[in-house]
Amino acid sequence: MAYFDNPVIPGFSPDPSICRAGEDYYLATSSFEYVPGVPLWHSRDLTHWRLIGHALDRPAQLELSDTVASSSGVYAPTLRHHDGRFWMITTVVGGTGTVLVTADDPAGPWSDPVSVKIPGIDPDLAWDEEGTCWCLFSHDGIKGVGIDPETGELLGEPVEMWSGTGLQYPEGPHLYRVGDWWYLLLSEGGTERGHALSVARARSLPGPFEPHPDNPVLSHRSTDHPVQNTGHGDLVQAHDGSWWMVLLGTRPRGDTPGFHGMGRETFLTPVRWEDGWPLPGPVELRCQGPELTPHPWPEEPDRDDFDAPALAPRWVTLRRRDPEAVDLGANPGHLVLNSRAEALDRPGAVFVGRRQRDPECGARTRIDVAEGGRGGLAVRLDEAHHYQVEREGDTVRAVARIGPLRQTVAERAVPAGPLTLRIDVTTTDALPPTVTVRGDAPQTGTGLRVGAPDTLRLGYETEEGEFEVLAELDGRYLTTEVAGGFTGRVVGMYATRGSAAFDWFELSPA
């Protein structure tokens, strides 16, 4: 009997959409303000996934302005395989609206986008028996309209479909033809702890739809289950005939209300059919797997020495990929970042990072700053919530941005030359917070209720390899429960004055 561990795609990877082409499975997730947009994953057993590229990977497809807020940008794609082609539709919030791209190979290249003039978010694609392409979306409920997928032209006026049981925010619709029925799966209740999945069916489109009598068919709300926020699911039938659902969920830790720093992740759960209805879950951290031949992919290295001519697909930047700001050619074997803003909370900030995928992990990088330069290592949730350890001249400092407050927590003089910066994330949530303020003796907090999901230790390494900790900071302030929004932590390098050269970067499990 085969088992697998959830999440199948750990770290910030929400709103998964899946399709099958023969014995291969492909999956797309949201990317929000990060580019390239719409990560694309490949699997042959539904449990092992590798990142093969992005659907929106060049400026002609996606370039976000500095005015696009964090947690805006690319929302909730739908990925489908139809008539020998791959189709991806998504909404760029604060940008170009709903766009549709196609490819013969999901690894790319993908076409230039076609605009689809619908309001709302979370577009879906499904083709009926006559060949009409239906586009469903969320806008004051769930609506649907026929479209020409080659041009994006609407073939009529949008009509009301089925909008759930009356819970808030009906969204993420997916429409399927299975046997004699059309099934409409949607999420409702909001993407926080109340998240739920409900389903209805109809004999023909656009309905009327008959809801399942026991909706929602999946929710972990009001339970102590270790997986929460379950919703935004998509169904797939495996090539052995079994049915599965991918969906988003979180793994909160710490004291009430529980905090998740890595964002909403992609989970897999089996689906059974009862009385003509698909019934998923529950979603377990350890789950019985599909009876498919296991197909693990080679592990990606934790370390990048920046020897390749281009960044690997797992690297993301903020809002655009600017070759003048992110340079692999100026200093061979180094990533050189040239600043465009004085701080990570300013428009145009230069930041290159990778998603945090493990609850306990360590990030290290070797930095050398040019004269007058400033750069460093950061754990970022958004402009107003990030921790930094940076080098400027002969000083290394730890900086915390929490909401409207930005503070240098500690700083220390260091010798000239390259320096290894380091941030460790630990889940020892019983540890009282300690902070070293500007070189003073460590101060242990008292009178505090310890309930952080994790602790982030910021510092640098001596030439002997010893970790000099400048600050230990509470991880709850880099979580959605505190900051709001829809993303998760991204760990990476930045420059906020002049130039900074990075010899290597490593992000590894503890």
Catalytic residues: 15, 171
Three-class DSSP category at 477 = helix
Order of strands across the sheet with 133-138? 121-127, 133-138, 142-147, 159-160
Q: Which two tokens stand for residue 435?
A: 């902070």
User: Among 89, 27, 82, 80, which residue's Cα sits nearest to residue 53?
Assistant: 27
| Residue 49 CB partners (closer than 8 Å, separation 6+) | 8, 9, 27, 41, 42, 43, 266, 297
Q: Provide DSSP, 101-132.
A: EEESSTTSPPPPPEE----SEEEEEEE-TT-P
Q: What single-letter amino acid sits at 460?
A: Y
Q: In angstroms, rounded to a whole number, what is the distance separating the alpha carbons of residues 109 and 104? A: 8
Give ∠ CA 479-482-485 in degrees, rounded to 5: 70
Q: In angstroms, rounded to a whole number, what is the distance separating the alpha carbons of residues 52 and 271? A: 27
Q: In angstroms, rounded to a whole number, what is the distance separating the alpha carbons of residues 260 and 503? A: 31
Q: What number of CA atoms fall less than 13 Å from residue 339's CA on the CB side? A: 20
Three-class DSSP category at 240 = coil
Q: Are the CB atoms for 384 and 339 separated by under 8 Å?
A: no
Helix (H) or strand (E) holding 26: strand 24-28
Q: What single-letter amino acid sits at 111?
A: S
Using the structure block, give the residue that is written with the tokens 């010899």. 503
Q: What number of CA atoms fall less than 13 Å from residue 309's CA on the CB side? A: 0
Helix (H) or strand (E) holding 37: strand 37-43
Order of strands across the sheet with 385-392? 34-35, 316-318, 350-355, 490-497, 374-382, 385-392, 395-402, 405-413
Three-class DSSP category at 62 = coil
Q: In angstroms, rounded to a whole number, what is the distance separating the alpha carbons of residues 374 and 370? A: 8
CA dihedral of 451, 456, 457, 461, whole degrees rounded to 10:
160
Peptide bond into 296 cis (omega under 30): no
Question: How far is residue 348 CA from its own chain's centroid?
Answer: 21
